[in-house]
């Protein structure tokens, strides 16, 4: 048995644990004292507020906490290998029964006269005709019994609350080296309690206010070290790495400006300016461009691509799906080709021979710009002179993929990240905290917001009537069906059948059908006909989600709208309202769940992409939103990205200030912080400082 307990001490060596119990702790992911101390309770039990026998019926199906003296205990075996221990207890003004399932030994433990505390749920036993408590946890009341507030932990088989509390108490009392890495001045500035005290308070609270401050401390830490990594990376990019200085003036950009079919919005001009200034500078660019659907991000991308190419470099544009890649390819190639820029697309589905040829051209710099999916980061892809990369819809990629793409170059490339899915503030500060940001906060002139309505399926005929009038006036419409994965046969069939039905409903119009199973050439023919107004109605699965751009389309119907995510609905809706005429969007669905109701309300209530993103985050939670796992950050155990924004801001400020004063954390007084960052990032700090 170790005499001195340290944070690194194996739990096994704590008094009262041993190898067998240590295995149980391991089942919870707990090996050493440090991990144990950070295993916080998910709730507390207030033992000064007990229920009594009389309360029991009122708590049917609810949790209760009762104290009682055992009167009797009886073991029965209703079925083979199924045991029930039923105990009569006297507590307060009456008696009640409590049952333990499959814990045969309890019959012996529960000797008459024993005082116990039980927690569990009240149920009604039909057979016996009485209320009883299904015991989840119990504790025998001995001399060392503690009233007041006690922690309740997530457990595993063979480990009781009592044992865990006991081990936790011991570890807290005896650990000698749980120190606070944060400099005292920083702690005081942000009014944070000292770490060991905060940890203790979270296990065994002494009062509401102390507990609240202690929680803030732990949340602050979680954000602080993430932001510190960001700050270090940011500082390194700004001060140490040498990148390419691209030429913002040149033949290609001149030609681009001359051939513009419209005047760029002020926001587009500003953002292009920010991007080109970064590209011309000596440090590698790391910039995020946010712009709502239809704000004209393609122009920014095209300008940046041209800047790279006219400086003699190759450029790559990576997007998360094949459909998106293809659409970007069509849209961008059309604009670059006329300037003599050689553009290729690289998709997973391309036949090997075709891919091989593209690999060859990339390696020989016979291709200037490649647009594709993750196929671009395959090992086989080698560039002769990659200098610039764009990632679109960045939220679907993680830091690792970003890094892999950048690693395709022999030099420090410039990086541009674009997203139409507005990033809620808190995520912008964490997951995207190391990027400079540009915002296209203006739509091209003359766009009225899309009016959005919720419609129940039985009211569909009315919407069709509106559609008919709209098309009679020469405008066009989309009808969209969900297709979750492109391979989903049932959805595909539903879309095809609906298409046939719609052809009968609208005999006076031409309809087209677009779905992911069509060959690209076929898709292109349908799209071209729609653009040329040969088709009035385009029936489609979600392949039109991103990129499709037909300003004469003014009405959109989305079927089974409940099956789409909020961000996706917003993207789809963005396909209309691209011209001068006010557009309408109809979301057809029953409102079956509260969640789908919230989504539909969000859509009918606002067209502001940022507001929608915040609501999306609220409804789905951050895990789903960015795939925080992918992003390379540890999971937050206590921090809540929605509720703790103020703490996040404070932590970020503190982290950036620290790095500003000491850009590589080299000062002696920062060594504890540095060590903690290394521990939390599992060595990622080295990676941060090297990349």
State the minimum distance, in angstroms, from the CB of residue 450 to Mg ion.
17
> How far is residue 372's CA from residue 616's CA, in Å, rounded to a whole number?
28
Alpha-helical (H) ranges within 444-593 are 460-472, 489-505, 520-531, 566-573
Q: Near Mg ion by CB under 5 A, which window of 35-43, 179-187, 291-299, 525-533? A: 291-299
Beta-sheet strand order (sheet of 451-455): 451-455, 584-588, 553-559, 476-480, 537-540, 511-514
CA angle (522, 525, 531) in 5-degree steps: 145
- Residue 268 binds which of Mg ion, ligand ADP, none (CB < 5-8 A, kind-dependent): ligand ADP
Which 3 state secondary structure label does DSSP give 416? strand
- What is the DSSP track for 604-650? HH---HHHHHHHHHHHH-HIIIIITTTTTPPPPSS--TTT-HHHHHH
Residue 182 or 443 having the CB closest to ligand ADP: 443
Cα 471 to the chain's mean position, in Å? 40
Please identify which residue in 132, 265, 426, 607 interacts with ligand ADP, judged by CB under 6 A: 265
Structure tokens at 171: 């570890």
CA angle (568, 574, 575) in 5-degree steps: 105
> Any contact of residue 575 with Mg ion (CB under 5 A)?
no
CB 457 within 8 A of CB 561: no
> How far is residue 162's CA from residue 152's CA, in Å, rounded to a whole number?
9
State the minimum distance, in angstroms, from the CB of residue 601 to ligand ADP.
24
Contact set for ligand ADP, span 88-127 (CB under 6 A): none
Residue 247 or 321 having the CB closest to ligand ADP: 321
Please identify which residue in 299, 322, 545, 616 interacts with ligand ADP, judged by CB under 6 A: 299
Q: Residue 509: count other Cβ atoms within 10 Å of its Cβ.
A: 17
Number of residues located near ligand ADP, criterion CB under 6 A: 17
> How far is residue 367's CA from residue 389's CA, in Å, rounded to a whole number?
14
Q: Residue 664: count other Cβ atoms within 10 Å of its Cβ.
A: 14
Site string for ligand ADP, 436-475 (x = CB under 6 A): --------x-------------------------------
State the minimum distance, in angstroms, from the CB of residue 490 to ligand ADP.
31
State the minimum distance, in angstroms, from the CB of residue 292 to ligand ADP.
7
State the minimum distance, in angstroms, from the CB of residue 324 to ligand ADP.
11
Residue 516 or 577 having the CB closest to ligand ADP: 577
Residue 297 or 447 having the CB closest to Mg ion: 297
Q: Near ligand ADP by CB under 6 A, which window of 57-65, 256-264, 374-382, 614-622? A: 256-264
Number of residues located near Mg ion, criterion CB under 5 A: 1
> How far is residue 641's CA from residue 648's CA, in Å, rounded to a whole number?
8
State the minimum distance, in angstroms, from the CB of residue 297 to Mg ion.
5
CB 444 within 8 A of CB 296: yes
Please identify which residue in 106, 293, 317, 347 interacts with ligand ADP, judged by CB under 6 A: 293
Structure tokens at 513: 């059908």
> How far is residue 14's CA from residue 577's CA, in Å, rounded to a whole number?
67
> How far is residue 573's CA from residue 569's CA, in Å, rounded to a whole number?
6
Task: Indicate the pairing of strand 94-101 with strand 82-91.
Answer: antiparallel
CB 244 within 8 A of CB 386: no
Structure tokens at 327: 């659409």
Residue 5 or 583 having the CB closest to ligand ADP: 583
Per the listing, tokens 């490339």 go with: 413
> Any contact of residue 573 with ligand ADP (CB under 6 A)?
no
CB 605 within 8 A of CB 612: no
> How far is residue 61's CA from residue 351's CA, in Å, rounded to a whole number?
60
Contact set for Mg ion, span 336-355 (CB under 5 A): none
Residue 297 or 523 having the CB closest to Mg ion: 297
State the minimum distance, in angstroms, from the CB of residue 371 to Mg ion.
12
Residue 574 or 632 having the CB closest to Mg ion: 574
DSSP-derived secondary structure letter, 322 = H
Contact set for ligand ADP, span 576-605 (CB under 6 A): 578
CB 294 within 8 A of CB 442: no
> Any contact of residue 523 with Mg ion (CB under 5 A)?
no
> Any contact of residue 264 with ligand ADP (CB under 6 A)?
yes
Q: Near ligand ADP by CB under 6 A, which window of 204-212, 261-269, 525-533, 597-605? A: 261-269
Structure tokens at 471: 């098309």
Residue 195 or 332 having the CB closest to ligand ADP: 332
Contact set for Mg ion, span 236-255 (CB under 5 A): none
Roughly what angle, to the nearest 10 degrees, separates helices 322-337 and 297-310? 60
Residue 244 or 371 having the CB closest to Mg ion: 371
Please identify which residue in 34, 236, 283, 297 interacts with Mg ion, judged by CB under 5 A: 297
> Any contact of residue 296 with ligand ADP (CB under 6 A)?
yes
Residue 97 or 290 having the CB closest to ligand ADP: 290
Q: Near Mg ion by CB under 5 A, which window of 290-298, 374-382, 422-430, 627-635? A: 290-298
Residue 205 or 577 having the CB closest to Mg ion: 577
Contact set for ligand ADP, span 525-554 (CB under 6 A): 549
Contact set for ligand ADP, span 370-429 (CB under 6 A): 420
Structure tokens at 88: 């009569």
> How far is residue 331's CA from residue 328's CA, in Å, rounded to a whole number?
5
Cα 386 to the chain's mean position, in Å? 30
Q: Near ligand ADP by CB under 6 A, which window of 225-233, 293-301, 366-374, 461-469? A: 293-301
Q: Near Mg ion by CB under 5 A, which window of 102-110, 295-303, 534-542, 570-578? A: 295-303
Nearby residues of 164 by Cβ (< 8 Å), 6 or more positions away:
153, 155
State the minimum distance, in angstroms, from the CB of residue 393 to ligand ADP.
10
Please identify which residue in 9, 97, 247, 268 interacts with ligand ADP, judged by CB under 6 A: 268
Which 3 state secondary structure label does DSSP give 183? coil
Residue 97 or 571 having the CB closest to Mg ion: 571
> Any contact of residue 326 with ligand ADP (CB under 6 A)?
no
State the minimum distance, in angstroms, from the CB of residue 382 to Mg ion.
28
- Residue 262 binds which of ligand ADP, Mg ion, none (CB < 5-8 A, kind-dependent): ligand ADP
Q: Near ligand ADP by CB under 6 A, which window of 246-254, 296-304, 506-514, 642-650? A: 296-304
Instruction: Indicate the helix (H) or strand (E) that contains 76.
Output: strand 63-79
Residue 24 or 328 having the CB closest to ligand ADP: 328
Structure tokens at 94: 């009456």
Residue 294 or 422 having the CB closest to ligand ADP: 294
> How far is residue 308's CA from residue 369's CA, in Å, rounded to a whole number?
9
Positions touching ligand ADP (CB under 6 A) are 262-265, 268, 291, 293-299, 420, 444, 549, 578
Positions touching Mg ion (CB under 5 A) are 297
């Amino acid at each position: 048995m170790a005499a001195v307990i340290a944070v690194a001490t194996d739990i096994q060596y704590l008094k009262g644990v041993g190898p067998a119990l240590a295995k149980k702790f391991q089942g919870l992911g707990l090996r050493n004292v440090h991990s144990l101390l950070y295993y916080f309770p998910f709730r507390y039990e207030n033992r000064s507020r007990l229920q009594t026998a009389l309360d029991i019926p009122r708590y049917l199906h609810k949790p209760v906490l009762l104290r009682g003296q055992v009167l009797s205990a009886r073991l029965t075996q209703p079925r083979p290998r199924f045991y029930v221990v039923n105990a009569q207890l006297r507590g307060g003004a009456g008696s009640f029964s409590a049952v333990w399932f499959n814990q045969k030994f309890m019959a012996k433990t529960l000797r008459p006269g024993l005082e116990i505390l039980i927690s569990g749920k009240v149920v009604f036993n039909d057979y016996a005709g009485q209320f009883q408590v299904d015991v989840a946890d119990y504790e025998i009341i001995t001399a060392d019994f503690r009233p007041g507030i006690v922690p309740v932990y997530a457990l595993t088989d063979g480990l009781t609350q009592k044992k865990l509390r006991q081990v936790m108490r011991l570890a807290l009392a005896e650990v000698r080296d749980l120190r606070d890495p944060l400099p005292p001045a920083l702690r005081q500035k942000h009014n944070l309690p000292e770490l060991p005290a905060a940890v203790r308070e979270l296990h065994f609270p002494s009062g509401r206010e102390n507990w609240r401050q202690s929680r803030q401390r732990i949340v602050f830490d979680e954000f602080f070290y993430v932001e510190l990594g960001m700050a270090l990376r940011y500082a390194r990019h700004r001060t140490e790495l040498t990148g390419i200085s691209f030429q913002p003036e040149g033949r290609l950009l001149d030609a681009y400006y001359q051939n513009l079919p419209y005047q760029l919005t002020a926001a587009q001009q500003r953002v292009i300016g920010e991007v080109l200034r970064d590209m011309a500078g000596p440090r590698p660019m790391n910039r995020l461009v946010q712009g709502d659907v239809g704000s004209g991000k393609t122009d920014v991308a095209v300008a940046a691509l041209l800047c790279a190419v006219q400086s003699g470099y190759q450029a790559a544009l990576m997007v998360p799906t094949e459909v998106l890649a293809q659409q970007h390819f069509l849209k961008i190639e059309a604009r670059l080709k006329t300037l003599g820029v050689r553009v290729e697309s690289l998709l997973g589905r391309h036949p090997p021979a075709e891919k091989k040829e593209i690999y060859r051209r990339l390696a020989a710099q016979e291709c200037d710009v490649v647009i594709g999916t993750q196929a671009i980061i395959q090992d086989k892809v080698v560039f002769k002179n990659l200098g610039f990369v764009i990632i679109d819809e960045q939220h679907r990629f993680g830091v690792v993929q970003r890094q892999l793409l950048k690693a395709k170059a022999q030099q420090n490339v410039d990086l541009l990240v674009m997203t139409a899915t507005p990033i809620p503030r808190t995520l912008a500060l964490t997951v995207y905290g190391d990027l400079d940001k540009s915002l296209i906060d203006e739509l091209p002139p003359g766009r009225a917001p899309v009016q959005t309505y919720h419609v129940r399926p039985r009211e569909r005929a009315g919407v069709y009537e509106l559609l008919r009038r709209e098309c009679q006036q020469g405008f066009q419409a989309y009808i969209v069906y969900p297709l979750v994965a492109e391979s989903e046969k049932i959805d595909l069939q539903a879309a095809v059948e609906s298409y046939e039905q719609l052809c009968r409903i609208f005999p006076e119009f031409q309809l087209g059908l677009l779905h992911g199973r069509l060959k690209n050439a076929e898709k292109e023919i349908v799209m071209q006909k729609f653009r040329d107004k040969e088709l009035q109605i385009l029936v489609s699965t979600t392949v039109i989600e991103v990129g499709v751009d037909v300003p004469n389309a003014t009405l959109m119907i989305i079927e089974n709208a409940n099956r789409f995510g909020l961000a996706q609905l917003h993207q789809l809706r963005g396909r209309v309202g691209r011209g001068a005429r006010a557009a309408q969007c109809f979301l057809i669905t029953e409102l079956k769940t509260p969640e789908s109701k919230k989504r539909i309300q969000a859509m009918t209530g606002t067209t502001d992409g940022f507001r929608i993103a915040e609501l999306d985050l609220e409804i789905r939670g951050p895990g789903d939103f960015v795939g925080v796992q992918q992003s390379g950050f540890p999971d937050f155990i206590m921090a809540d990205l929605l509720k703790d924004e103020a703490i996040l801001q404070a932590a970020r400020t503190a982290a950036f200030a620290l790095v500003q004063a000491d850009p590589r954390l080299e000062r002696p007084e920062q060594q504890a912080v540095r060590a903690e960052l290394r521990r939390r990032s599992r060595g990622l700090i080295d990676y941060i400082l090297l990349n």
